[in-house]
Structures are given as structure tokens and as C-alpha cells.
């Protein structure tokens, strides 16, 4: 695995949900009360907001396509996440989910770039190295590369397992989302 040095602040940070913002139960979060933020993740997002950096979520949610929960349940989980963030003074500029089953081969399911392209269009920003995609899996890294964004890996969620895999490309590795934001805050 290669590391790269990031020396300019991003214009936007896209984050994966499970394993980056919230604990990943290695199953499915199917109801709002099962959603629990990782320590420091919501404060980190609020800090990005304070820096004027746009923040979006890109998340595969195949539990919908598999029939484990429906769109309404996903909406209620998202509302809980947004309310917890709002309580800290933060917000998301856009949230994009892929609800499809992996066998559907849809263009929005990571590692394809579709979710990131939706976000770029919604935020009216070009996808390039100034857009960081923070994730915890190989799919996240590959989606970032496919969309010409800067991939950033965190060790939370599946991150430790991902470090053990040889994933193409150069990307920095941080302990968690809060560490990514501390790094960004240190950039001029």
C-alpha cells in the first residue's frame, strides 16, 4: 500500500456511513435505535462545516435491496443521524445511498463511481483531487479513484482489514474521521 501526502484543503469531503460515521455491526442497521455514532465522528463533521468544507455521505445500503428493511426505515435512520449531527451544530450538504442488491450491477453501487457522481452534480462541484472520499473499505478506495477523487482510508469499521489487502493507488491512512479533520485543520 502506498501513502500520499495531502497538502491542500479539500473543497468537499465525502464520507462512507457505516464504519466511518457510525459503528458497523457487520450486519445491517435496520432501525434508528441501532444507529450509533463513532466517538468524535459527528464533531469532526461539524468541524468541516465550520471550515466551509462541503460534506456529503455516499453509502451502499443493500439491506433495502435484500429486503432486510425498507426505504422508510432507511429514511428514519438517516433522520436520526442528521438529528444527532444537528445537535452538535453540523449538517450534511447531501446524502446519497445505493439501495440496490449487489447482483443488480447498478452504476451507483460502490466500487463504481455513481454515488460520487450524484454528489458532484448535487453540490455542483467538479470531482477531482480536491474532493476527498473518506472510507473504510476497498470499495470506497476504488470508488474514489473511479470518480477522480482523493481516497482516504480510516482504520475504523473495516479499515484494519482493508489495510491487510493490497489496494491499488496511493492514499493516506488515518485512525478515524476525527484524525482526518485534525489533519485538514492543520493545512493552510
Neighbours of 138 (CB within 10 A): 19
Are residues 14 and 116 in contact, defined by beta-carbon separation less than 8 angstroms? yes
H helices of the chain, where?
A: 41-50, 62-65, 71-86, 114-123, 138-146, 159-163, 177-185
Q: Compute the distance between CA of residue 102 and CA of residue 136 in angstroms, rounded to an integer.
A: 18
Choosing from 18, 24, 136, 176, which is the catalytic residue? Answer: 18
Query: Which of 16, 24, 136, 176 does the annotation list as catalytic?
Result: 16
Beta bridge partners of 154: 174
Residue 94: what are its φ and ψ, rounded to 5°? -165, 150
Quote the CA–CA distance of 104 and 89 in Å, as a whole number. 38
Task: Give yes or no: 16 in active site.
Answer: yes
Q: What are phi and psi of 159, to 5 degrees?
A: -60, -40
Residues catalogued as catalytic: 16, 18
Amino acid at each position: 500500500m502506498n501513502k500520499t501526502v495531502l497538502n491542500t484543503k479539500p473543497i468537499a469531503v465525502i464520507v462512507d456511513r457505516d464504519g466511518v460515521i457510525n459503528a458497523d455491526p457487520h450486519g445491517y442497521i435496520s432501525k434508528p435505535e441501532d444507529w450509533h455514532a463513532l466517538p468524535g465522528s459527528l464533531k469532526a463533521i461539524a468541524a468541516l462545516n465550520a471550515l466551509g468544507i462541503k460534506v456529503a455521505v455516499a453509502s451502499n445500503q443493500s439491506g433495502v435491496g435484500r429486503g432486510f428493511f425498507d426505504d422508510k426505515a432507511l429514511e428514519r435512520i438517516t433522520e436520526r443521524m442528521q438529528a444527532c449531527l444537528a445537535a452538535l451544530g453540523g449538517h450534511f450538504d447531501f446524502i446519497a445511498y445505493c439501495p440496490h442488491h449487489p447482483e443488480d450491477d447498478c452504476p451507483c453501487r460502490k466500487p463504481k463511481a455513481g454515488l460520487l457522481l450524484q454528489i458532484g452534480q448535487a453540490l455542483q462541484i467538479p470531482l477531482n483531487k480536491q474532493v476527498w472520499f473518506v472510507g473504510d473499505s476497498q470499495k470506497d478506495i476504488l470508488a474514489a479513484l473511479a470518480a477522480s477523487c482523493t481516497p482516504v482510508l480510516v482504520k475504523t469499521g473495516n479499515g484494519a482489514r482493508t489495510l491487510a489487502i493490497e489496494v491499488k493507488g496511493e492514499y493516506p491512512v488515518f485512525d478515524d474521521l476525527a484524525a482526518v479533520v485534525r489533519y485538514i485543520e492543520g493545512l493552510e
